[in-house]
Amino acid sequence: MNTIQIKGRLKAYLQAPLYMGVLFLAGSLILLKVNFRLGLFAGIVSLCYAVAIYIAYRITWKKLTDEIINFAVQYGTVQNRLLGKFQLPYAVMDGEGKILWMNERFMELSGKDRSYRKSISSIFSEVTRENIGRIESGSFTVQLTYNDRIYDAILEKLPLDEYTEDYTPITDSKKMIIEGIGEITSIMLVDVTERETHKKRNLEQQMVPALVYVDNYEEVMESVDEVKRSMLVAMIDRKVNRYFREIDGVVKKLERDKYFIIFQSQYLKTLEDGKFSLLEDIQTIKVGNDSVFTISIGIGMGASSYTQCSEYARAAIGMALGRGGSQVVIKDNQDVSYYGIRGREVEKNTRVKARVKAQALREMMETRSRVLVMGHSISDADALGAAVGVYVAATALGKPCQIVLNTVTSSLRPLVDMFTTDAGYPRDLFINSEEALTIVDNNTLVMVVDTNRPTYTECPQLLNRGGGVVVFDHHRHGNEKIKNPLLSYIEPYASSACEMLAEVLQYFADGITLTNQEADCIYAGILIDTNNFMTKTGVRTFEAAAFLRRSGADVIRVRKLLREDMSAYKARAEVVRNAEVYRNAFAISVCEAKEAESPTIVGAQASNELLNIVGIKASFVLTEYQGKIYVSSRSIDEIDVQLIMERLGGGGHLNVAGAQIEDATVSEVKRRVEDIIDVMMDEGEIKL
């Protein structure tokens, strides 16, 4: 006879009559003490009841257990049939993803039968062994595409020792025997095609705000006859409206040179694929002279509200203008993308902005007890000259000012040596980072010149220690920038930070004077960054130089200060001699100026020299120094080296740019430069 162990509520239910017999016998014993004859009669009846129940159990037990077993088998079969007919595709796998069992819907979906014992990855490539191994507790969902439908594959780990007693899949009325398996994994597929389609459609239909600014509206309009101005405005309006109406956009003119646009996000890729052709199309407007209109576009998206997207658009247009105009910046939450056309930054002839910034800087200095100014690490003549310009401004207000300078290179030493105590300058005019951190307080104004990247400064810790930060720079904005400055003056069209400070000093205070040393130092910064007035020079560059010349700068004296030693000259010549020409247009070389005191300066000078070779459109010089690889890139007009350096993690200008790379070798960085050139040529970003 087959025996089974009965427990739980079923066991209590079957044993209840026996318990009642015992209860009756106990009651009879109590009744004997009250009435002997009545108690005896009750006892005999209770005993007969208990014997009858026991005999009935013995006679019917086998039939009862057979019925229980039959019910359990039928119940398990019903469970299995229900699972087999389950409308969602369902399958069971071993710990490595090998299929052990699948229901009918899974077989219909996959086109396999129950004899299929291969890995689940052979059907759904997205469900890998690594995904199965990532399931620790609960469930894990993988989205996959199969037969043009999208499914959420819900994976769940089922420890075998916990489930074999209560659940075993049954096929063809036989139990499936699983041996040597420590755990099984179930997979259930939920068709989410409609959900994902509606989700994608919802994202595509979200409204994206954009701002379009005409960069040089005032400058161009001043150069044409008044009768032509209305016609030019109409032409700009027509091109902007036609461009965005092609993507079902709504254009609202805010001011004479500003537009607000709304369009659906699904059309953004169309604009990107077209490289924002409006930038070039707007330049086809014939003004009648050499001037052309340029525009900048800022697009904001990725926020949870339209208000925040609008703020992103405002931030994006600010970054586009900070990159010199004729740029498109897309701010997608924290991600920023840049687009632009080849061309020079738009020079603004008006000095209104310089005057406004000068007055704002004066007010900030007047409310602070001390000024600390620093440039980028391994400072060059431009950073030093701009810092000296800040010192002049602070001194005019009677505020103490120190320049943070950690490394005095051989090219800077002649300039630094001019500012001695004998010449009337304080002994602590130049301090290092450690000294600056000891004197900075909440009433200290920290000024950053010639860089807008916090990690590139001489002492990044100062940015969070003082009572406010002011930034003066002529480099384009990148993804990394100093956060929340009190005043930010970024002018990419300027040739140098020294040019910007020379302009500001003219409006900073009445009758401000410069010593010969100060004028020479600022003039030297302009001279170096313009490569002797051959690069990025405009009308305002020469006006700044003229102001410095009137203030006491001497061209011959500055030329003597900037002379280099023989080792640096030989090192630069060696860089030029060993240069390789890549794709018949790009000169790439490595600077190994170990004997030179300032190898990065040698590399920058060598990259300028390489442009003098016929056929070279851009040059790149790699210098390994103090654990980093410094890349100096230069071009004349055809190649935007700033876009190349941005992909390398750096930045700069159209014709002058660079990057600093850590944890890489020179050969690796060289290969990366070549790969970036290849990709940009394939994408059409570089056209030779």
| Pick from 338, 349, 348, 673: nearest CA to 477 | 338
Q: What is the pTM of this model?
A: 0.59
Domain 352-561 has CATH 3.90.1640.10: yes
Please report which confidence band the pLDDT of residue 623 belongs to, taking 50, 70 and 90 as the band edges.
very high
Percent of the chain exceeding pLDDT 70 equals 87
> For 248-252, 266-270, 316-320, 668-672, which range has the lowest pLDDT when averaged over its residues?
316-320
Please report which confidence band the pLDDT of residue 242 belongs to, taking 50, 70 and 90 as the band edges.
very high
pLDDT of residue 399: 93
Q: Which tokens go with 236?
A: 């700009």
Give mean pLDDT, residues 541-553.
92
Structural contact between residues 500 and 491, judged by C-beta atoms closer than 8 angstroms: yes
Specify the residue for token string 């950073």: 383
> For 31-40, 429-438, 499-508, 618-627, which range has the lowest pLDDT when averaged over its residues?
31-40
Average pLDDT score over the chain: 83
Q: Is 403 helix (H, G, I), strand (E, B) or coil?
A: strand
pLDDT at residue 401 greater than cutoff 90: yes
Q: Is 627 helix (H, G, I), strand (E, B) or coil?
A: coil
Specify the residue for token string 């935007």: 640
Determine the CATH number of domain 90-199: 3.30.450.20
The CATH architecture that domain 205-340 belongs to is 2-Layer Sandwich (3.30)
Structural contact between residues 143 and 126, judged by C-beta atoms closer than 8 angstroms: yes
Put residue 254 in one of left, alpha, beta given phi > 0 → left and psi -120 to 50 → alpha. Answer: alpha
pLDDT at residue 390 greater than cutoff 80: yes
pLDDT of residue 386: 95
Give mean pLDDT, residues 279-303.
83
Q: Which tokens go with 176?
A: 């499936």
pLDDT at residue 63 greater than cutoff 80: no
Q: Break the chain into its structural domains and give their ranges.
A: 9-84, 90-199, 205-340, 352-561, 566-682
pLDDT at residue 293 greater than cutoff 70: yes
Q: Is 227 exposed, middle or buried (0-12, 13-18, 19+ CB in 10 A)?
A: exposed
Name the residue type at position 503: E
Q: Do domains 352-561 and 566-682 have the same CATH topology?
A: no
Task: Assign a CATH topology to domain 566-682.
Answer: Diaminopimelate Epimerase; Chain A, domain 1 (3.10.310)
How many Cβ atoms are within 10 Å of 492's Cβ, its own excluded?
A: 22
